[in-house]
Structure 1
């Protein structure tokens, strides 16, 4: 049933990729989808929580590749910076890894497990990992379910989520198939921008009601012009299917003023969230 969406002002920190100096930590992107970039020109991660608070954000999903170091003392500093700023680390996002890879899937499972341990040290209550980056078949879906369930069992101290994302979860039917195989041991983060096509809102509606977190993506109709219609329709779908989690904004446009664009997204979202 439709209900009011969570009003917490939240974001996915990919939205600040330029603000963070396009930083991608060495060793954090084995697939090559992201180019490693140890630049120190952007906002320091330890300063990010205070900046989030200054811009009115009370919740954030943190990308794993923003961590320049992973030793326990540094992770404690990051955790403390979020707590001191009063910003909730809603979910830690591991943006690489493929547990369904035919040769390296088992190794990728171990790699993801290491990042889940980092999420635990950060005090994140949830961690999102990819379900797989191979085409959906009965075999790849079964393999994904088995390895995701193993990861969840190995880390019972937090909630493991996956996302309607990459080559495996190409539509609502395959996503629901995987969720059925997971039997509640792993949850769903819904990204409204990962599926395209004329029926994308129906596809989102088919799985979003049971999602635990979201990423609501704002793209552009032309450089510098947000697609307000798409953003509004996506939010309306989440509201109407009874999605009960937070609305985490994702700015996926071209403007270097990411804070300004996020504020514009927030103003559009308020027409739906109230």
Structure 2
């Protein structure tokens, strides 16, 4: 059955500092840089706030975790359970499985496994892992990424977490490369189709081709200067998803100007009729 969800990215101006991970080529280590943002809600408060606004699930970006100590992760799990909101996906926003530097690739693989452990501890059903930043035409990179994703999926399965990837970053920027990757990685690896991350004139067909493999869709419209979505464009994507057949999370994405909850509500009003007739 289909349902409404939100990504914490859609509220990034309300959830406090972003803790952004990067690779330091000079030291051969991961670094974290804090980017200040206002804090209107804590992450622990978000499930109840989302439930009150009519959302059934949340996807949480890894840079919104203020800490990953055991006590906090237990609190986060409890906050989702108390609000009857699903913690669908931990969106890991760092990691390059196709990095040219073998040292970085090994370090990133270990980093991803650490976050799989975190996902398991706080009750996330899935973890989104970036497939890689190599060009989509790089066949060796697709093979390397698929093998790494399959390894990670096997690691995660033992912890009751599913590994999924997304048309996010260069390697999966086309439907053809995405489908090739999924074919090689195997059924244990799932997918997210993001409306905003295919760019060719055949964008709608590309969206349609990856929907059968997707556990969620990122409903990311184009916006005008006042934060109002391009309704006709968005409906064309939603109709394609409905035509192909989709039963999963419609994750609303808003990064326009003004109040982020109000921006999400404008998208929600367009999407809700498709939730009611989907699945």
TM above 0.5, yes or no, is yes
For residue 261 of structure 1, report the CA deviation from its aligned partner: 1.5
Match in the other structure for 1:62: 60
Give the gaps of 5 or more residues in structure 2. 25-31
1:192 is aligned to 2:177: no
1:209–1:238 contact (8 Å) kept in structure 2: no
For residue 31 of structure 1, report the CA deviation from its aligned partner: 5.2
Match in the other structure for 2:156: 155
Tell me the distance in 1 between the aligned counterparts of 2:98 and 2:260. Answer: 34
Alignment of 1:115-154 (within 5 A): 115-136=115-136, 137-154=138-155
Q: TM-score scaled to structure 2, two decimals?
A: 0.89
Aligned length: 264
Tell me the distance in 2 between the aligned counterparts of 1:39 and 1:247. Answer: 26
Match in the other structure for 1:29: 21
**SS of equivalent residue, structure 1 residue 259:** helix
Tell me the distance in 2 between the aligned counterparts of 1:9 and 1:67. Answer: 22
Query: In structure 2, which of residues 4, 8, 14 is the aligned counterpart of residue 13 of structure 1?
Result: 8
1:218–1:249 contact (8 Å) kept in structure 2: no
2:14–2:37 contact (8 Å) kept in structure 1: no
1:218–1:252 contact (8 Å) kept in structure 2: no
Give the gaps of 5 or more residues in structure 1. none
Tell me the distance in 1 between the aligned counterparts of 2:179 and 2:40. Answer: 39
Alignment of 1:158-169 (within 5 A): 158-169=161-172
Match in the other structure for 1:101: 99
- CA deviations 1:26-76 (Å, max 9, x no partner) are xx42159x9622656342111111111121111111111110100111100
1:89–1:124 contact (8 Å) kept in structure 2: yes
Q: TM-score scaled to structure 1, two decimals?
A: 0.91
Q: Which moved more, 1:12-21 or 1:223-232?
A: 223-232
- CA deviations 1:179-227 (Å, max 9, x no partner) are 1101212111111111123211111111112212221112303332211
1:235 is aligned to 2:208: no
The higher relative CO (CA closer than 8 Å, separation ≥ 6) is in 1
1:205–1:241 contact (8 Å) kept in structure 2: yes
**SS of equivalent residue, structure 2 residue 135:** coil
Cα RMSD of the aligned pairs, angstroms, is: 1.8
